[in-house]
Chains A and B, each alone.
Chain A
Amino acid sequence: MRITDVGSFFLFMVNCILCNNFIFSRFLGCCPFLGVSSKVQTATGMGLAVTFVMGIASLVTYFVNLILVALGLEYLQTIAFILVIAALVQFVEMFMKKSMPSLYSALGIYLPLITTNCAVLAVTIMNVENSYNLFESVCNGVFGALGFMLAIVLMAGVRERLETSDIPKSFKGFPSSLITAGLLSIAFMGFQGLVK
């Protein structure tokens, strides 16, 4: 899937957000998806943080990859990308601590854990494997993260209502959340084949 004109740009977007949703189709980044999806507000904050990290990581790793290829060091891809992601997460953490302390404390341990969020590493490696150009890489990162945000906010909305609903005691909390995640995933299967 390449971006050649405006039409293909929108197809690319739909593909990233709905068809190949990181959580519901690729099953990447499930830890924060389950960990921070109890409130819509924090879920949105997490989604924005991941969007920022994924977007910038796609941009920076594109250039890092150029350097690695030029030096013939493609085998260092994983460690170099993780270095980029870790540094970015550190930056986001500092920024949030300063400007959004309430969100910072709400995200807690999950903010530094974006470092090890497999979805972020996956998007950078996918960019390289599909040999996307700079624009496609950034689009893939940002739209992929928006898909993640869509998933986590949907989940948070459902969980907020589950909180107050009368469900069997043994299903309260995580069991019902996992079932919800499964049902959402099945629903998202309906988008498969929308983009060829």
Chain B
Amino acid sequence: MNIQWIHVVYALLALGGLGAVFGLVLDIADKKFAVEVDERVTRVRAACAGANCGACGYPGCDGFAAAVVKGDAPVNGCTAGGAKTAAAIAEIMGVSAGSSEPRVARLLCQGAVGIAKERYHYDGYKSCQMASQMVGGPKMCPYSCIGLGDCMDVCKFDAIRIENGIAVFDENKCVACGMCEKTCPRHAIAVVPKDATVLVRCQNSDIGRPAVEACTHACIACKRCEKTCQYDAIHVSNGFASIDTSKCTRCGECAKVCPRGCITVIGGQVEVA
């Protein structure tokens, strides 16, 4: 094959030359039509976690940065970035960061395979949203984690995996953006302070027998925890117990008396009474 190299050179020169000329013109135009952008916006944008997760309530990190500089958004609004980002943004804006206590998403359900009773065997499309609408969901308990991973799909930080039919959270990876909390059709996920280690892991509103029949770890609203707590921190309402984290001293007494084992102490083993 006989390549006429001169044509190759012509082609390169012609297109390269055109590109160079346009580049030059655009460069001049860029200088001439430069728009004054508040340089703080660029710096705040750089300080953000940059996942565009939308946890701050603005459309992406760019929107958040613009709102922070405008004064509409709090400097610690980037939940994904946590305290470090808040401090960095506060420094740029010249204000104090305030406290942004570390938070983490936790599953308020222990209904793994063998614990929660199955209503039927679901073999359809892998979506909690869909399964939850099929005759009350595949588990007997209508408040349980379905375990098909809608939260896992929506998590941008790879912090959720499905084990034994329920969601398991990696608290080191979780940034408390709250996407899983919004996605869960059962509202079984809560973003709570990271140091709230004593948690009621059940939201079953049924009282007594229906709850017992649904799951071995279901809250039956017996109120033993409420009577045991010395700090007035745990109360039963709507058929299940819940803890006021601001009053709770993490003593774990409630977990010891719970006959159903639905109160857990993270980082400590508590025997079911």
Contact = CB atoms under 8 A, between A and B. Distances in A.
B15 A83 contact: yes
A84 interface: yes
A76 B11 contact: yes
B20 to A, nearest CB: 11
Interface stretch (B24-32, B47-55, B171-179, B229-237): B24-32
Contacts of A97: 33, 35
A176 B65 CA distance: 38
Report whether over half of chain B's contact residues are helix, strand or loop; otherwise say mixed. helix
A67 B25 contact: no
Contact of B10 (A71, A80, A94, A98): A71
A187 interface: no
Contact of A87 (B14, B26, B34): B26
Contacts of A94: 26, 29-30, 33
Contacts, number: 45
A10 interface: no
B120 interface: no
Given A91-B29, A94-B33, A95-B29, A84 B22 contact: yes
Nearest to B21: A87
Given A80-B18, A83-B18, A91 B10 contact: no
B33 to A, nearest CB: 4
Interface in A60-97: 64, 67-68, 71-73, 76, 79-80, 83-84, 87, 90-91, 94-95, 97
Nearest to B13: A71
A27 to B, nearest CB: 30
A76 to B, nearest CB: 6
B26 A80 contact: no
Contacts of B14: 67-68, 71, 73, 76, 80
Nearest to B36: A98
B145 to A, nearest CB: 36
Nearest to A71: B10
B15 A80 contact: yes
Interface of A: 64, 67-68, 71-73, 76, 79-80, 83-84, 87, 90-91, 94-95, 97-99, 101
7 contacts: A64-B18, A84-B18, A87-B22, A91-B25, A91-B26, A91-B29, A101-B35
Given A83-B15, A94-B33, 9 more contacts: A64-B18, A72-B7, A73-B7, A76-B11, A83-B19, A83-B22, A91-B26, A98-B34, A99-B33
